[in-house]
Amino acid sequence: MTLEKKDIQGLMVRGHGNLKSARFLLYTCSDPTSSCDFLKEIVPLITNAEEKPEKEAIHIAFTYEGLSFLQLPAPLLNSFCREFKEGMTAEQRRAVLGDIGDNDPDNWDWGQDSIHFLLMVYAKDQEQLDKSMLRIKEQTDRCGIELIHTLPTGLLQHQKEHFGFRDDISRPVIRELLKETPPENLFTFPAGEFIMGYKNLYDEYAPAPYVPFELDTTGLLPVHPDYPERKDLGKNGSYLVFRQMHQNVHSFWKYMKEQTGEKGEAIKLASKMVGRWPDGSPLARCPMAPDPALSESNDFGYWDDDQAGLKCPLGAHIRRSNPRDHLVTETSKKDSSEMAAKHQLLRKGRPYGPPVTPELDPQNIMDSTEDEQERGLHFICMVTDIRRQFEFVQNNWVSFHKFGGLENDADPIIGNHYDTGQYKTNEFSVPHYPIRKKYSNLPNFTLIKGGAYFFFPGIKALQYIANHE
Amino acid sequence: MSTIHKGLTVTVTLHEDKLTDVNGQLFQFRNELKTNREQFEKALPGTFFISWLTLPPQVYEEQEQLPARIILMTSYVGDKNQHIEELVAFLEPKLKQVFGESDEFPITYSGKSEMIAFLHDKSVPNTFYSGFKFISTADVEREKDLKAAVWEYAQQMNTDLEASQLPPSKIKQKIEYYIANNPKLSWAVAGIPYAQKNKIQMLLPLVIFGLVMACSIVCILLSFFVDALFVKVMAWVFPLFLLFMGGMLVLLRQNEKKPHIPGKELSDEEVRKIVALETNPVINEMTVIAPLKKGWIRRAFLSVSLKLVGLLAYFTYIPTVHTARWLQLDKGKRLVFIANFDNLSEAYAHDFVDSERRTKNMAVIFSHAFGFPATRWLIHKQYNHRSEYMKGVRAHQKITQFWYSRNQYESVENLKRNRAFREGLFKEMDEEAIKKWLLTI
């Protein structure tokens, strides 16, 4: 099935890496009618997937609260999935996501307040970004729309994140975007895993929001492929999950040094926690030392020769967030791979804040003086099923301290680490001869500072939202 | 003495207008459990899980009203009589209070012995699965403590250069010496009692079934040469079994061709009520009770399937599940499924659908229940298979008003690993096997 790229927002298919400057803007509206006027103005400026912007790209996504505020019809609002309607900070969602203690939404900078929509503005440089921001400000001011949070971003050198590790190497490949037949060893995903209106891995159309036929008076929306009485509002859209994750870089490297005593060993321990060396090479393929030739390696698994985790620990971050072909609870490579494939995310995030050192070399980071700078990652991912994809990974693989037969281990990098007295999640186990090594009292190396679930509509759906009666 | 993990299911009908009262009582017990958990653990030493709930009336074949029920489901190790006595000794006032609301409860109730008789009388057979085998309630704690103590002792070997160079067999010897000479751990020297006996007990029905079938196949061949009545009769058993199963499958296929009636989705509000009770950080519970799809063949096929699944219980594997059970109620018109599993139902439910193989296994049982997906030849999926499964599970999930789990903090993988460590103690192994065994610590 061919992708309708003109109707898909461009961020679905590219990360705008050439547009180095970007800002994420969170707005609240004051009047539904003038807000729709703003949308009518902004829709033509939204970058679609057919375009390859050189100067500027703009994307828009809505919270459930925002869509309700715009007074969309009740059947449409009801048709969104429960997680989206409840929002990331609802009690049940907190429990699923493990947002308790330090990560409790009550401690967040944003996410509890009335956010109606998110504008993502990308520009080739700061000057262009400032220009775009001025134009948007004029438009929003005119329509009574208030900017409540501005989230700056900043790409780091060598595709690294703030701890000093190469990031964003493992990305799911969307089958329909490939121009040629992929090599046999490349696992590809049907578009429906990430873009609504297409078949997913279950060979079904993912559940998507819809409009009763009679309410699409302009005839903008396509008919839902499963239900002829519905118009498919979800077609070419997605859910966008946003979590602002503060990274405590100095606390991270301080812990590694304290546990190991010297820098080389500290880097080894940190790499065990990540599952890759700082240059990106995976421990599963080069467990003893980094191999720059493998720094973008994504063609590896664990089933054949690392089931015990002697190379890459079972609890390592990359093994938890994508167990690939080995889940301890499965009895075959095939079952493990099938299970893991059903819980993939299309990541589109960007770091924010200044790097501790420009090169982000862990050796230098460890020598640096602690500062009070705010830095971290704007984690953004696209999924068609929030519960099956994002929440499952966050709950079952990242947060669950019993993952893979472990005992007290949440994800060492992004997990929420605590000790309630009855149970704890702040250990990291490293399979080792003669006896497993266990690192205790892990502090929280990352903290959630904000977050929300958004609907990231297709262009026609946007037009419908802007023009609905 | 048996350490086979089994399930007891007791059920009685209830007037619909008493549902609210009974639900209130059960929820009150749930609240009391928060403060008297220690009493439960002390008084119910052989009990792993208790789920106690009411079931509202349900409609079968769009017309027949199936009655409201009270269902008590426990899991235990050991003897059934002993387990019932244990339950009655501690829970008798509560059992009387709740079951007393049913018309099936004796009018002239005379005390504990009658309660024992009542529970026996109202217990119904179930197909039971346990994710861990031959582990008693006491084993859970002490095997965990044993492993923790050994890890504390052995972890110094990582820093002791000399010790870390030792071959695996020497490390194992050191560990075994430590256990044997530690008065708190030396119980582990004795090995695992009844393991072999229990394995045989569990496999016996399957062995008998297999022997009968094998004998029948041999008799088919013999019948060409031997003219004995026994041989003639036995020669018919296997073909009749195949014919019976084949016939059932053909009849089921006819039933499958009837238009599929999709079930209704549970409202967000109802789902919220269910998941709000999943507060345990490690283990939680799910009860799914659904009327069957139209047609007697569904009831019959499911009944036979459950018997066969029961035969294979020793070899069955369901990841992350501590216990599961299936049974039919109301002359087979209702399917009851209950699972105690690791983590939350929102994650666990994916075990039903994320692997093709598992979905096929699940279809053998769940596809007979109303609201679950349509199938072809039982295991072949049709479109919307996955979403119908997820919808079906949620739509028929019931609120379990009272739930008790003796073990709160050990996952099923933890239990299995702890047992694997204990099994390896004082056992002959080669160096490679010892290396693997050391990884269980």
Domain boundaries, chain A: 1-247+321-364+372-469
Angle subtended at Cα B18 by Cα B13 and Cα B24, rounded to the nearest 5 degrees: 110
Residue A101 at interface with chain B, using a CB cutoff of 8 Å: no
CA distance to partner chain B, nearest, from residue A45 (Å): 36
DSSP single-letter state for residue A445: S
Which one of A330, A396, A402 has the shortest CB-CB distance to B414? A402
Beta bridge partners of residue B55, listed in sequence order: B69
Spatial CA neighbour of B276 closest among A100, A95, A82: A95
The torsion angles phi and psi of A374, rounded to 5 degrees, stand at -85, 120
Q: In order along chain A (469 residues), what is the average pLDDT of each group of 10 residues?
A: 95 95 98 96 97 97 98 97 97 96 97 96 97 97 97 93 95 92 88 97 94 92 94 98 98 97 97 98 98 95 96 98 96 94 96 96 95 96 96 97 97 97 96 94 98 98 95
Residues 163-192 of B with CB under 8 A from A: 163-164, 166, 168, 171
pLDDT at B160: 80
Residue B157 at interface with chain A, using a CB cutoff of 8 Å: yes
Residues 65-94 of A with CB under 8 A from B: 82, 85-86, 91-92
Query: Is A402 close to B282, i.e. CB distance below 8 A?
Result: yes
- Residues A187-199, buried b or exposed e (16+ Cβ, 10 A)? bebbbbbbbbbbb
B203-216 pLDDT tens trace: 999 999 999 999 99
Query: Is B272 close to A328, i.e. CB distance below 8 A?
Result: no
d(CA A380, CA A349): 4
Q: Which residue has the tokens 């047609």?
A: B295
Burial of A226 (0-12, 13-18, 19+ CB in 10 A): middle
pTM over 0.90: yes
B296-334 pLDDT tens trace: 999 999 999 999 999 999 999 988 999 999 999 999 999
CA distance to partner chain B, nearest, from residue A218 (Å): 30
d(CA B97, CA B105): 10
> Which is higher by pLDDT, B194 or B401?
B401
Residue A388 at interface with chain B, using a CB cutoff of 8 Å: yes
Which one of A92, A342, A401 has the shortest CB-CB distance to B350? A342
* Region of residue A271 (phi > 0: left; psi between -120 and 50: alpha; otherwise: beta): alpha
A280-321 pLDDT tens trace: 999 999 999 999 999 999 999 999 999 999 999 999 999 999
Tell me what ipTM this predicted complex has. Answer: 0.94
Q: Is B281 helix (H, G, I), strand (E, B) or coil?
A: coil
- Mean pLDDT over residues B278-294, rounded? 95
CB A376 within 8 A of CB A352: yes
pLDDT at B388: 86
Substitution target from B169, B172, B346 for chain A, most A beta carbons within 10 A: B346
* Region of residue A189 (phi > 0: left; psi between -120 and 50: alpha; otherwise: beta): beta
Report the Cα B289 to chain-centroid distance in Å.
Answer: 15
d(CA B209, CA A467): 69
Report the chain B residue with the minimal C-alpha distance to residue A310: B439
Which one of B320, B385, B387 has the shortest CB-CB distance to A329? B320
Beta-carbon pairs below 8 A across chains A and B: 114
pLDDT at B340: 97
d(CA A210, CA A190): 21
Which one of B171, B275, B281 has the shortest CB-CB distance to A434? B171
Which one of B278, B413, B436 has the shortest CB-CB distance to A402? B413
Residues from chain A contacting residue B163 (CB–CB below 8 Å): 434
pLDDT at B69: 98
pLDDT at A321: 97
Residue B145 at interface with chain A, using a CB cutoff of 8 Å: no
Q: Looking at the predicted structure, is the pLDDT value of residue B149 above 80?
A: yes
Residue B158 at interface with chain A, using a CB cutoff of 8 Å: yes
Residue B431 at interface with chain A, using a CB cutoff of 8 Å: no
For chain A, what's the residue count? 469
Residues from chain B contacting residue A399 (CB–CB below 8 Å): none
Spatial CA neighbour of A80 closest among A293, A309, A369, A385: A385
Spatial CA neighbour of A284 closest among A256, A266, A304: A304
DSSP string covering A346-407, please?
Answer: EE--EEES--SSTT--HHHHHHSPP-----EEEEEEEES-TIIIIIHIIIIIII-TTGGG-S
Residues 377-396 of B with CB under 8 A from A: 383-387
Residues 131-170 of A with CB under 8 A from B: none
Q: Looking at the predicted structure, is the pLDDT value of residue B156 above 90?
A: no
Q: Looking at the predicted structure, is the pLDDT value of residue B351 above 80?
A: no
Residues from chain B contacting residue A331 (CB–CB below 8 Å): 317
B216-239 pLDDT tens trace: 999 999 999 999 999 999 999 999
Report the Cα A224 to chain-centroid distance in Å.
Answer: 27
d(CA A385, CA A193): 8
Residue B420 at interface with chain A, using a CB cutoff of 8 Å: no
Residue A260 at interface with chain B, using a CB cutoff of 8 Å: no
Residues from chain A contacting residue B343 (CB–CB below 8 Å): 395-396, 400, 402
CB A331 within 8 A of CB A339: no
d(CA A95, CA A87): 12
Residues from chain A contacting residue B268 (CB–CB below 8 Å): 82, 85-86
- Is the bond leading into A434 cis (omega within 30 degrees of zero)? yes
Report the chain B residue with the minimal C-alpha distance to residue A406: B414
* Cα torsion angle, B29, B31, B32, B33, sign: positive
Q: Looking at the predicted structure, is the pLDDT value of residue B48 above 90?
A: yes
- Residue A373: other Cβ atoms inside 10 A: 12
Average pLDDT taken over every residue of chain B: 94
pLDDT at A394: 97
Which one of A82, A91, A402 has the shortest CB-CB distance to B342? A402
pLDDT classification of B347: cutoffs 50, 70, 90? confident
Burial of B308 (0-12, 13-18, 19+ CB in 10 A): middle
pLDDT at A368: 95
Which residue type, as a one-letter code, is found at position B274?
I
N- to C-terminal Cα separation, chain A: 32
Side by side, the strands of the sheet bearing B5-14 are B5-14, B68-77, B47-55, B402-405
Beta bridge partners of residue A189, listed in sequence order: A174
Write the CA distances from A324 to A98, A271, A306, A318, A372, integer angstroms.
Answer: 23, 18, 12, 9, 37
Which one of B158, B317, B354 has the shortest CB-CB distance to A432? B158
Spatial CA neighbour of A14 closest among A48, A40, A44, A37: A48
Q: Is B72 helix (H, G, I), strand (E, B) or coil?
A: strand
Query: Is B346 close to A400, i.e. CB distance below 8 A?
Result: no
Q: Return the structure tokens found at A158.
A: 């060598």
DSSP H or E stretch at residue B341: strand B334-342
Q: Return the structure tokens found at B325.
A: 């059970």
Pairing status of strand A173-174 against strand A188-189? parallel
Longest dimension (CA), chain B: 77
Query: Is A405 close to B158, i.e. CB distance below 8 A?
Result: no
pLDDT classification of B163: cutoffs 50, 70, 90? confident
* Percentage of residues in chain B having pLDDT higher than 70: 100
Query: Is B347 close to A226, i.e. CB distance below 8 A?
Result: no
Burial of B62 (0-12, 13-18, 19+ CB in 10 A): exposed
Dihedral angle computed from the Cα positions of residues B119, B121, B123 and B126, in that order, rounded to the nearest 10 degrees: 150
Beta bridge partners of residue B71, listed in sequence order: B11, B53
Query: Is B356 close to A338, i.e. CB distance below 8 A?
Result: yes
Write the CA distances from A440 to A107, A258, A357, integer angstroms.
Answer: 25, 12, 28
pLDDT at A401: 98
pLDDT at A340: 95
Which residue type, as a one-letter code, is found at position A290?
P
CA distance to partner chain A, nearest, from residue B163 (Å): 8
Q: Return the structure tokens found at A96.
A: 């699923």
Beta bridge partners of residue A428, listed in sequence order: A439
* Percentage of residues in chain B having pLDDT higher than 90: 84
CA distance to partner chain B, nearest, from residue A324 (Å): 14
Report the chain B residue with the minimal C-alpha distance to residue A407: B414
Q: Looking at the predicted structure, is the pLDDT value of residue B349 above 90?
A: no
Residue B358 at interface with chain A, using a CB cutoff of 8 Å: yes
pLDDT at B241: 96
Residues from chain A contacting residue B416 (CB–CB below 8 Å): 405
Residues 165-224 of A with CB under 8 A from B: 202-204, 207
Report the Cα A324 to chain-centroid distance in Å.
Answer: 18
- Residues A379-401, buried b or exposed e (16+ Cβ, 10 A)? bbbbbbbbbbbbbbbbbbbbbbb
pLDDT at B157: 83
Substitution target from A314, A329, A394 for chain B, most B beta carbons within 10 A: A329
The torsion angles phi and psi of B197, rounded to 5 degrees, stand at -60, -45
pLDDT at A73: 96
Residue A421 at interface with chain B, using a CB cutoff of 8 Å: no
Query: Is A391 close to B438, i.e. CB distance below 8 A?
Result: no
Q: Return the structure tokens found at A200.
A: 């997913």
